[in-house]
Chain A
Amino acid sequence: ANMKLILIFGALIGASLCLETFVGHQVLRIKTKNEEEIKQLQLLESLEHLELDFWINPSAPALPVDVRIPAASVQSVKAFLESQGIEYSILIEDLQDVLDKEKQDMAESAQRQRSSSFDFGAYHTLDDINQELDHLASEYSFVEKIQIGESYEKRPLYVLKFSTGGSNRPAIWLDAGIHSREWVTQASALWIANKIASDYGTDDSITSLLDKMDLFLLPVANPDGFVYTHTSNRMWRKTRSKIAGSVCVGVDPNRNWDAGFGGPGASSRPCSDSYHGPSANSEVEVKSVVDFIKNHGNFKAFLTLHSYSQLLMYPYGYKCTRPDDYAELESLGRAAASSIRSLYGTTFQVGTICKTIYQASGGSIDWSYDNGIKYSFAFELRDTGRYGFLLPANQIIPAAKETWLGLKRIMEHVRD
């Protein structure tokens, strides 16, 4: 009987073609019931002219046998299996179809990778943001991702360093998201990072800025709070630190700086959204920035993004007296607000924190100013209350663009 079968297959030699493609090739899964059937398949395997390609070779009855069969041999192999009562099923009807689809998928994926897949006009999770920071750092030689510390819940605090050379050049600090519910700020910071990176070399202003100064950008200053706004409470503002003796969690990180700490405009109640914390710099998110800036020693500007209210403010918040550099800061503030307005007509009010929003102690720009960083500004981005913290994603890029113009105006002044 076996000889007869071999002759049948022998007759098919002429019919088998040498194909470069896999059009019409089928992949069958054969289920053998006993040793006898295994032997039949092993015989089939030995017939080289059939050009059968066993993906799983026949070995034991319990295991399936997968085989790719060229188009010309498909009908005869099936006829053979059926005549022997050997069970099989079709895994792949046409292998070329599968290969074509896979090639198309890979091309589309490569296309997406090349044209930066990050959607700056949408809100993202912390993981996605961190991934984009890696992407920017890998794509631009003058962009580096550094870690300046860890949050309370041990998340890394990542800063993008923009530096085209030199050694400890005069630097500009920019942070966003210190209050986690202010989502437009983290989102804008990402857009701004990408803008600066991609415009270096083509935009005169950014190029001359980075040729003289370094920029440090912390897009998510409060990662624990940020994750919490995604997982549990969209309106969370503070850090997520445990407070001794209280059921309440978290400290307002912008009342925790060593500038008039504990004074008016901050709460001593742990459950309050403006709780200043047990002591200045008690929050690791704040301490990490303080240490980094002190160790660097050459920062000239400290800029921080918040939302909402459309305000552009300079010190002081902890006291209602004017800073020594009042005239220059007011004038620069107005110029920056004017740049912001030039794009979409969005108006930002300018003034000291104390006069413009409220007296608030322990704020970051008061600390930076009192520590010798003259150009200290706090921005409150869109809007003025219509959506508040829940700014629609389609406003992210417009907000980022107009804010960038204001920041740029300040940075240019600092540079010059």
Chain B
Amino acid sequence: ELPLSHFSAARAAAVAVGYLRYLRGGPGRGLELRELRRARRQDIDGVGHKYYLELELEDVLDKDRTVNCTAEVLYRLGSKTSAPDVQVTVQGELRSTEEAEQEFYNRIRSLEKELVAENIPDSHGNVPPELEPIHLLAWVASGYLIWQNSTENTKFHLAQVKHVKQVKRSDEDLQFDYVLLLHEMVSQEVLPWEVTVLWHPQRGARVSQS
């Protein structure tokens, strides 16, 4: 059993949240950790360290409601190159985002010029409302990066969307090329990561690291 103040619990929780954002997030849904309720750690000989977490999450667009979730995060021994194994179970329903996401999809598809934006949020923490879905899509992308690149000695957060550029496609997907600033807590570095997101209301998000 881990004290909730211990950094290893917080780091594992950040991985779980990243994974969840990648899996369940979208332009109409941004998941945030409301509270870490419980954390246990199991050292498995020859395999690695496994964390069992109980999390309370909120949808930032629907803050009055929270949803509980259990997660298992396995950091494999001695591997610097493979992502932690993550399994999550969300208990209960997340608010439906179909309508909002379809609206976003239609809006972007109908743009004459390709969308370009930078510094989201700006220096003062502001996000213009029309860019919020682009911001939340960046959470999906950063969630993927965080999950893929975390170890027991790192804790990543999305610091800022430095730049985003839409790339019009001949197929039905939306494509956004992002430059994301990720803040790594242990080294305190804030570094840019290039990532491409393909998104479609029914097909969801596909993230590829540039």
A residues in contact (CB < 8 Å) with B: 122-123, 183, 229-230, 234-235, 237, 252, 267, 272-274, 309, 311, 347, 349-351, 355-358, 384-393, 395
Q: How far is the CA of A349 from the CA of B7 in the complex (A)?
A: 10
- From residue A140, how far is it (CB to closest CB) to chain B in Å? 29
Contact B185 A358 (CB under 8 A): yes
Task: Judge whether B121 is part of the interface by a CB distance below 8 angstroms.
Answer: yes
Task: Judge whether B6 is part of the interface by a CB distance below 8 angstroms.
Answer: yes
Which residues from 95 to 150 on chain B have a C-beta closer than 8 Å to any C-beta of chain A?
119, 121-126
Q: How far is the CA of A311 from the CA of B160 in the complex (A)?
A: 22
B181 to chain A: closest residue by CB: A235
B123 to chain A: closest residue by CB: A234
Task: Judge whether B188 is part of the interface by a CB distance below 8 angstroms.
Answer: yes
Contact A252 B188 (CB under 8 A): yes
8 residue pairs, one from A and one from B, having the closest CB atoms: A392-B125, A349-B5, A385-B157, A273-B188, A235-B190, A351-B5, A390-B125, A390-B121
- In the complex, the number of residue pairs spanning A and B with C-beta atoms less than 8 Å apart equals 79
The contact sample of 14 A-B pairs, CB cut-off 8 A, is: A123-B123, A235-B160, A235-B183, A237-B190, A267-B187, A347-B35, A388-B158, A390-B122, A390-B124, A390-B125, A390-B159, A391-B125, A392-B125, A393-B126
Q: How far is the CA of A350 from the CA of B5 in the complex (A)?
A: 6
Residues of A within 8 Å of B180, CB to CB, are: none
Residues of B within 8 Å of A351, CB to CB, are: 3, 5-6
Contact B14 A357 (CB under 8 A): no
Q: A234-B123, A391-B125 are in contact. Are A356 and B5 (CB under 8 A)?
A: yes
Complex partner residue of B183 from A349, A389, A391, A395, CB under 8 angstroms: A389
- From residue A36, how far is it (CB to closest CB) to chain B in Å? 64
Q: How far is the CA of A393 from the CA of B56 in the complex (A)?
A: 26
Q: How far is the CA of A390 from the CA of B124 in the complex (A)?
A: 6
Which residues from 183 to 210 on chain B have a C-beta closer than 8 Å to any C-beta of chain A?
183, 185-190
Contact A274 B188 (CB under 8 A): yes
Most buried by A among B5, B33, B183, B186: B5
Task: Judge whether B32 is part of the interface by a CB distance below 8 angstroms.
Answer: yes
